[in-house]
Structures are given as C-alpha cells and as structure tokens.
Amino acid sequence: MDFILQGHEINLKGANRGFFTTRLRANLERLLDGTGSKVGMRGMGVIVAAPDEAAVDVRQRLERALGVQTIVAGQRVAPEAEAIAPVALAMIASQPGASFALDVKRPDKALALSSHEVAVHVGRYIEEKLGLPVDLRRPERLCTIVLNRKGALVSRAPEFGPGGMPAGTAGRLLGLLSAGFDSPVAAYRLIRRGARVMLIHFYGTPLAGHASSLGPAEEMARQLTRYQLHTRLYLCPFEPVQRAVIAATPSAYRVLVYRRMMLRIAAALAEKIFAHGLVTGDSLAQVASQTSLNLEAVSAATRLPIYRPLIGDDKVAIQAEARRIGTFEISAAASTGATDDCCSAFMPRTPALASSIGELDDAEREFDFAPLIVSSLSAIETRRYRLRGNTVELL
C-alpha cells in the first residue's frame, strides 16, 4: 500500500520548503520505524510505501504525522484494466454513499492504454458488482487511478491528516504542565505549529487519600511525545515555595503569587535550556486567577513571551480536543483519583478576582523570592522521552 502525503503550508514556504520537507521526511521515518515502510519524495509531496500487512498500522500512525494535510492511500497494480478493476472495486466499496466516480489520469502519454478505456472498463465492472450509479458531478464515492509505466496507482479519495507544521521546525518553548485538561492541549497546539515544547510540572506533597500528580504528568509527556517525537519533562517540587509564599504574602493574593513564582522558575529554566517562550493552558475567566486583570498582573513577573493558545476556548472545546489527541483519559483519571498538582491545603478561601501589577508587587514586598528560584532549579529532576516507531522510550 502506498500513501501519498501533501502538506499545504509546507508548499507555501518558497526557498525554505526544502528545510520543512527534509524534517517531515525524517519525522516520518522515525514515526514509521518498525513497519517496513520506505519514505520518499514525489513532486510536491511525500510518498510512503508500506507493506500490505502493515497498511492499517501505518495509516493509524499517520494521524500523528504533523505537517501532513491530506493522505491518499493507494495500491499499485499492473497497468491493465483487468488488474485495476478489482482493486478499484475495493476502494469504492470501502466508502459510504449512493454514487461513485473514477478519476483516471495518464501522465505518460506513451502508454498504449488510454484513460478512457480504463474508466469505461472499470466503471462498468463496479456498476455490475455494486449496483451503484456513476455521478461525475457530485460523486459520494471516489477512486483515483494514475497510470504510468511502473504500474497503476489505485487510491481512495483524499483524507485529512493532522495538518500544522512538521514537528521541530519552529523553535523551542517551555510548557507549564498540570494534570488537568487544559495545559496538555495548549502544549499540543504549539507542537502542531512546529514548536518543540519542553514541559515543566510543579508538584507538591499530596493530601492524605489523594494521589501524586507525578504519574499523570509523566503519562501526558509520553502522549505528547507521540506527536513531537522528543520531549523533556522537568519535575519541580513546589511545596517549599508555597510555604514561603504563605509566610510572606496576604492570603487573597496567594494563588496569584504562586503563579508568578511558577512563571519566574519556568523563565529561569527556559533561559538554561534555550527556550524562547512559555506556554500555559490559561482560558479567559475559567478560574479566578485567569481573569484579564489577574493574567496581566501575573504575567508581569517575567519578560519572556507567554503563549496562551486556549485563551478564547471553553471547557467543552478543550476537552473535545483532549479526546482527539489522547490526553483526555489521563486527565479524567487524575481528576477522579483526586490528584493534587500542588497541595490543595495551601489554597485560600477567597482568592482575588481583580488584582493589579502594583498590588501584587506590594504583596511581594517582604517576599525574598530570588533564593527560592535558585533552590527550585537545583531540585528539578529531568525525564527524557523519545518515540521509536510506536513506542515511547524513557532515556
């Protein structure tokens, strides 16, 4: 089985197109490792030649091939109408709809067999076997047949790939990862745009009867690795910071100062790992700390760019995307198991809804946070993950 892959945005890159297609090809080779497939270039696209027995597995993996806009699955047969007909029948039979059409192309005009002859012979064969009418204007089922000297490629109608840009083509960012639904989706959206998103997870000592957030965070990192192929997860203990915040700042601003500290630590780490921005799962007004005024006041803690790809989305849309990318079940299990990202005992009863930069600066006036950033960085543990074929390896 052959798969012809097209990337819409890649083809608009002009003189830089070679960089993106080379990275896409390398990503595909790693993604399809172990399937026996061969990856090559074909015109403006990429062609994957997969053994028939691996075709289903390859098609499933291509759902994670970022940068691929359309996928055309086809089978090569002898350039003869009798050989083409049963394969085209199978392609049409696998699709829903009450009518069909054939799109027969013959780029090599030296072939004795004409496209019209193939269309007539194969079309009649399908009509007899399936009893479907031909509709050349608006067919519900479509089969494309490309004739050349090496054989005929018989393919289904194009299907959508994941789109976006090839993984690892848009620089490095650092994503703040929780065990909830939002932050993994936010990280994925930037991964889909080509960024290499490293992850940092802040954790505390869980309350009695609660589970640690470390397990879900590692599962999230593994799942995101299935899209971006390489991931680093930084695990940062946050309870010492929380206790220091409690001792030095007013209760109403406590959560906002927590978030400021997370941004400061993440920014310091980003500088060390050459990341050029932070990614958060903030969604406007979803919780008290995410009102527009609070987001402004918290963001002032760092000059590093903060990317918030979910800012205008509601929970329903975010959870639907989490299902599509495979992180929903991890987050759902974490919430069912009462997982603590950072110890819930330290949360104030009435957090501020509308703070200003000046108010938070005043709240931190007696708070010496610089040593806490240094100690937090020294306490970080690192996990490195790599995708090899269909397996995520812990390095």
Amino acid residing at 61: R
Is the backbone of residue 43 left (phi > 0), alpha (psi -120 to 50) or beta? left
Give phi and psi for 116, each to the nearest 5: -65, -45
User: How is residue 134 annotated by DSSP?
Assistant: B
pLDDT for residue 342 is more than 70: no
Q: Looking at residue 4, what is its pLDDT?
A: 87
Q: Looking at residue 355, what is its pLDDT?
A: 87
pLDDT for residue 134 is more than 90: yes
Q: Looking at residue 147, what is its pLDDT?
A: 86
Extract the tokens encoding 246. Answer: 């409690």
Q: How far apart are the first and last CA of the chain?
A: 33
13 vs 142, which has greater pLDDT? 142
In this prediction, residues 177-206 reach a mean pLDDT of 95
Q: How many angstroms from the chain centroid is the CA of residue 220?
A: 12
201/233 Cα distance (integer angstroms): 7
* CA 109, 111, 117, 121 torsion-angle sign: negative
- For 274-306, how does the pLDDT look when each residue is reduced to its tens digit (9 = 90+)? 999 999 999 998 988 899 999 999 999 999 999
Q: Looking at residue 280, what is its pLDDT?
A: 97
Residue 280 near residue 178 (C-beta atoms within 8 A): no
Long-range contacts of 207-215 (CB under 8 A, 24+ apart): 207/340, 207/343, 207/344, 207/345, 209/338, 210/337, 210/338, 210/339, 210/340, 210/344, 211/334, 211/337, 211/338, 211/339, 211/340, 212/339, 212/340, 213/178, 213/179, 213/334, 213/339, 213/340, 213/341
Domains along the sequence of the chain with CATH:
2-160 (3.30.2130.30), 172-394 (3.40.50.620)
In this prediction, residues 83-96 reach a mean pLDDT of 93
Hey, is 336 helix, strand or coil? helix
Q: How does strand 2-6 pair with strand 141-148? A: unpaired
Question: In sequence order, which residues have a C-beta less than 8 Å from that of residue 391 and are 6 or more positions away?
Answer: none
Percent of all residues in the chain with a pLDDT value above 70, rounded to a whole number: 95
pLDDT for residue 228 is more than 90: yes
Is the backbone of residue 209 left (phi > 0), alpha (psi -120 to 50) or beta? left
What is the per-residue burial (b if ≥16 Cβ within 10 Å, else e) of 129-152? eeebeeeeeebebbbbbbbeeebb
